[in-house]
Amino acid sequence: MPIFPLPQFVTQALSENWWTYLVFGLIGFGFGYVLEISGFGNSKKLAAQFYFKDLTVLKVMFTAIVTAMVLLFLSSAVGILDFNLVYVPETYLSSGIVGGLIMGVGFIVGGFCPGTSLVSASTGKIDGIVFVLGAITGVWAFGETVDGFWQWWNTSGYFGRLTLMDAFHLPTGVVVLLVVLMALFMFWGGEKLEAIFGKKDLSKEPKLRVVGAGVLVLLALAVLVIGQPTAADKYANLTITRTVEDEKVAFTPGQLLTNRLVQVHPGELLASLADQKLNIVMIDVRSEADYNLFHIRGAQNIPLADLETVLPFLLSQPPTNTVVVLMSNDETAASDAWKVLVANSVPNVYILEGGVNNWLSIFGADEADITPTPVPPADDALAYTFPSALGDRYEAADPEPEAWELEYTPKIQLQRQRGPSGGGCG
């Protein structure tokens, strides 16, 4: 059981807990205060890093980054929080590189990044105020011109929720330790550069920085030794809240499956596809051969064995009204896929009740080309035969919602997802 109910904390609206305003306000004030006492409200001090005379910016910001990283994954290792519930900004490589270059040039010319300019402006410095006004003008200009390059900005180099662990296929503990060692090497190198170019006397640097470095290494080693919870561990300890008769009830994933609270009737799926308030994502986990024979229009074919490859995209920030519906020929493979996604904290995941076979029994009953198999099918096999592999070109693949009035018990309950957050000095 988590020590602190972080999933509830990060997924509830601010208005549901008044004290969250105080928490976030204190965090913001603390962040600004640390920037100010570190000298980050002074453009001369900030610009000095580009001349290797004063690398305080590098040391302070990278210390904050690696400390947060170590504590985050240590908390995940001991079960305090679920890293998949922490919003990770999606990676847009191409636009990220261009944006980074523009911000870097602005940083060199003006001596501020967006965050430090606000710190400077809040203390009454004229250059900081001018820089903030320039940033506001830049935001306005971007908003007025973004339509001209919207497609490139949103799709070029898009990798979804990408971490170093995903990119290099390394365990979390190994990545954490390597990043800490890299940071400490950069700090050591930065001090050498300061001594050479800035004539800084390193003997006056605080000795506690060595102790802090040692603590960071020890904590990183702890992350490596303890390891991160597996999907099976998360699944075993997971509880999901559902509303039953106007009361919120906590269920284990097994109870949700057994009580059939996540199996949506084909009629509900059809109605949901026509509901503009919902963004339905259908994932067909069957083999490519079965998918090519017949599939519901709009369903994406991601075989069960490949399901984890799409987690970075499902854990990105999709619209908050997104509902994922999994389907197989019956419910066997779809149930296994449901367990994988739920264990990895993907919200609003459901199973098509009875699978594609049940869908066909309702919407394909009057279609002459679709006939039942002569013998009962094996487990999770198609119960119908098709003259050709037409995919979604059968009428049953895209029935008209207005033409069907089916009785069913609604199962879909939209759960609020975590929102995006800012980070860094920007």
DSSP 292-347: HHB--TT-EE--GGGGGGGHHHHTS---TTEEEEEE-SSSHHHHHHHHHHHHTT-S
Q: For the residues 156-174, what does the mean pLDDT come to?
A: 90
Asked if the model's pLDDT at residue 4 lies above 60, the reply is: no
pLDDT of residue 40: 87
Q: For the residues 170-178, what does the mean pLDDT come to?
A: 96
Q: Can you list the domains of the chain with their CATH numbers?
A: 6-232 (no CATH), 253-403 (3.40.250.10)
Sign of the dihedral through C-alpha 401, 407, 408, 413: positive
Confidence grade of residue 414 (pLDDT, cut at 50, 70, 90): confident
Distance CA 178, CA 174 (A): 6
Q: By mean pLDDT, which of 43-52, 168-177, 355-364 is the weakest?
A: 43-52
Residue 141 vs residue 423, higher pLDDT: 141
pLDDT of residue 206: 86
pLDDT of residue 3: 38
* Mean pLDDT across the chain: 88
Asked if the model's pLDDT at residue 244 lies above 90, the reply is: no
Q: For the residues 251-265, what does the mean pLDDT come to?
A: 95
Confidence grade of residue 338 (pLDDT, cut at 50, 70, 90): very high
| CA-derived radius of gyration, the chain | 27
Q: For the residues 25-38, what does the mean pLDDT come to?
A: 86
Give 286-308 pLDDT, tens digit per residue: 999 999 999 999 999 999 999 98
Give 62-75 pLDDT, tens digit per residue: 998 999 999 999 99
pLDDT of residue 16: 64
